[in-house]
Amino acid sequence: MTDRSTSSRAPSLVVQIVIGLIAGIVLAMAWPQGATAVGLLGTVFISALKAVAPVLVLVLVTASIANHKHGQKTNIRFILALYVIGTLAAALVGVGASFLFPSVLTLKTAAQAGMTAPGGIGEVLHTLLMQVVDNPVHALLNANYIGLLAWAVGLGLALRHASAGTRVLVTDLSNAITWVVRAVIKLAPLGVFGIVASLLAESGLGALKSYLHLLCVLVGAMLFMAFVGNPLIVAIVTRRNPYPLVLRCLRESGITAFFTRSSAANIPVNMELCRKLGLQEETYSVAVPLGATINMAGAAITISVLTLAAVNTLGIAVDLPTALLLSVLAAVGACGASGVPGGSLLLIPLACGLFGISNDVAMQVVGVGFVVGVVQDSAETALNSSTDVVFVAAAEQAHGRG
């Protein structure tokens, strides 16, 4: 009885994270040296999430497929369709925001050393294909989730013909990994405390002032997608009020993703949220890691907005067909962003090539992206990761309705 009453009085994880956020801001303002030191807490937390996520995906997907019951629907195809629609819609929102609030850059930032942008969309697709056939050990070491999904699906299908005892063993291993993941997630308040404190102490937000307009367009487009675009898609699919689901996903997934700045690191958080929402494990165990790889609404917005900022800076005229083509290119490129070193920013030169912008200029735009990335990357990850759960839950609600 005492344990239950104590747990009921304990603040929720979201409240604890907000407390950690406020404490980090206070410490950074009052004692910058100490704030820099506690950054170790944030580093450890993100590293722990990244460490458990690949193992979680491999084991959980394998166990789910191995124990899948014949005739049980998983809605994966429908979820994939939602991922594609959401990413394309986000690209269109980014293009629309750039036309309504055009940004102009001061291209003085040197190109980032050692970075190479993909030479074309074919190279992006080639990278994705090579990830599918990656060595499983290499995929685990490098957190290649496309490769891990391919191996997990293969192992799961093979183990469906194994003995009942073997399948139970795989399920027990999956439950054990899930227990470890929940233990790591409980460290989120300390992790956020360390991340915020060290970030504000070391860099502050002064560097963002000169790019405030660009940052407002980027974040504004992402907020529009989160609070208008995604709810509209969910409402059409489920025919019910989308905001209880959308707001819960933003609260319980988006907040942690904002501070970890990694969709891969947020996979365990999303898995736990899906479990609490009562979703089908056979569905979310596959759809969530897949979404962390190809459901990139935030990345599509980043690519389209920064590309059009470069276009406006150079005074290049853009007609409607070209803008629509840019939206498609940004959406397709965003799906391959996770397989390219540097994430969505390195897909900008690819999109700039559509307007004949040289690689030297495009890489300067990438440099601008790294400057505003202090906020932009966090908002992008929050949108990407929370949308994964939104669409998985929406698909199940639509299936339940139909």
Which tens digits make up the pLDDT trace of 307-322?
A: 999 999 888 888 888 8
Three-state secondary-structure class, residue 278: coil
DSSP 295-326: --HHHHHHHHHHHHHHHHHTT----HHHHHHH
- Confidence bin at 363 (pLDDT 50/70/90): confident
Half-sphere exposure of 6 (CA within 13 A, CB side): 3
pLDDT tens figures, 47-99 = 888 888 888 888 888 887 887 766 556 688 899 999 999 999 999 999 999 99
Q: Which residue has the higher pLDDT, 302 or 49?
A: 302
pTM across the whole model: 0.77
In whole angstroms, give the CA distance from residue 384 to residue 260: 13
pLDDT attached to residue 9 = 63
Closest by CA to 268, choosing from 167, 145, 379, is 145
pLDDT tens figures, 210-265 = 678 999 999 999 999 999 999 999 999 999 999 999 999 999 999 999 988 878 78
On whether the CB atoms of residues 120 and 350 are closer than 8 A, the answer is yes
How deeply is 171 buried, as exposed, middle or buried, from its count of CB atoms within 10 A (0-12, 13-18, 19+)?
A: middle
